[in-house]
């Protein structure tokens, strides 16, 4: 019996290359007698596709596998929507870096055939939940697979805030903000701000200050079960923002409280059997694969 009989397909909008790969993917899956369900926004890129159409939420309920065609950003968006459904996700890279979307369109059918035949690695990644409170009332909620970021928005002013971890006061800081990252996000924005690379299997969260006022402020790695609380300083003149994977923002005000915890459920990522985290780092980050001859 096939492990993946009903396969959902999501594509990044507005890309000719994604449309090419979607057409190739559709033809292959239909030829191999899989039941293909296309996400409703993606369907608009394939007029006359003749496939069943469903929302992202419904894809999670009726599919055995969801294939995301695009970049890491596309997979991040799908992961936030589909985490609760426990459906596995497979990424086909039509973006730039591709830490999460690791099947290349060049050998798509060959690699996909192996995955669909059961030759794959599955790993689970945790997400973050965040809430913003104002005067004791919930103002907004969001989820992130990579990172939750406190940042100045369009302002150029520094942000003053207090950091608490598990109820313990850690420090007051003035900086351009704070990146709160999962291991998945440690090779993204967090890395560019000087944060450490964390193996995806780690149950840990890293907090990376952005251009802090004091040079002694350094990234802190804490237990993945920690509750992180940020209190925006009452004297701030600027109104900072909280972003989720860089794709959604909530405007904050002085005195607001931001709470960040691990989501209670994880996403399931499917990789080809030869997937290796360190090889991906070598490839994507330009690490040397051999010592150059002197």
Binding residues: 72-73, 146-147, 157, 174, 176, 187-192, 247
In this structure, are residues 108 and 21 in contact, taking their beta carbons and an 8 Å threshold?
Answer: yes
Nearest residue to 209 (alpha-carbon basis) of 161, 273, 141: 161
Cα-trace Rg, the chain: 21
d(CA 243, CA 80) in angstroms, rounded, equals 13
In this structure, are residues 203 and 263 in contact, taking their beta carbons and an 8 Å threshold?
Answer: no
The annotated binding site for NAD(+) is made up of: 72-73, 146-147, 157, 174, 176, 187-192, 247
Start-to-end CA distance of the chain, whole Å, equals 56
Helices 16-31, 108-116: crossing angle, 10 deg rounding: 50
d(CA 33, CA 54) in angstroms, rounded, equals 19
d(CA 86, CA 78) in angstroms, rounded, equals 12
Q: CB within 8 A of 14, min separation 6: which ones? A: none
Q: Catalytic residue numbers?
A: 72
In this structure, are residues 68 and 15 in contact, taking their beta carbons and an 8 Å threshold?
Answer: no
* CA-angle at 102, arms to 69 and 127, nearest 5°: 80
Phi, psi for 59 (deg, rounded to 5) = -55, -40
Nearest residue to 55 (alpha-carbon basis) of 26, 18, 82: 82
**SS3 call for 180:** strand
């Amino acid at each position: 019996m096939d492990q993946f009989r009903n396969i959902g397909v999501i594509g990044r909008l507005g890309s000719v290359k994604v449309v090419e790969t979607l057409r190739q993917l559709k033809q292959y899956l239909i030829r191999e007698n899989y039941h293909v369900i296309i996400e409703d926004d993606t369907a608009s890129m394939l007029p006359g596709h003749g496939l069943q159409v469903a929302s992202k939420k419904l894809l999670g309920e009726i599919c055995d596998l969801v294939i995301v065609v695009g970049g890491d950003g596309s997979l991040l968006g799908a992961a936030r929507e589909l985490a609760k459904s426990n459906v596995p996700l497979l990424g086909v890279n039509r973006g730039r870096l591709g830490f999460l979307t690791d099947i290349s369109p060049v050998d798509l059918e060959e690699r996909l055939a192996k995955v669909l035949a059961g030759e794959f690695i599955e790993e689970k990644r945790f997400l973050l939940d965040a809430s913003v409170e104002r005067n004791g009332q919930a103002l907004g909620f969001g989820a992130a697979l990579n990172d939750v970021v406190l940042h100045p928005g369009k302002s150029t002013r520094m942000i003053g805030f207090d950091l608490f971890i598990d109820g313990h006061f850690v420090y007051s800081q003035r900086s351009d903000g704070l990146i709160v990252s999962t291991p998945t996000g440690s090779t993204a924005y967090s890395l560019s701000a000087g944060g450490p690379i964390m193996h995806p299997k780690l149950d840990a969260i890293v907090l990376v200050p952005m251009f802090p006022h004091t040079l002694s402020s350094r990234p802190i790695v804490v237990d993945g079960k920690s509750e992180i609380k940020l209190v925006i300083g009452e004297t701030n003149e600027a109104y900072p923002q909280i972003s989720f994977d860089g794709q959604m923002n909530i405007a904050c005000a002085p005195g607001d409280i931001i709470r960040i915890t691990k989501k209670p459920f994880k996403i399931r990522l499917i990789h080809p059997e030869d997937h290796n985290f360190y090889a991906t780092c070598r490839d994507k980050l330009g690490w040397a694969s051999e010592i150059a001859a002197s």
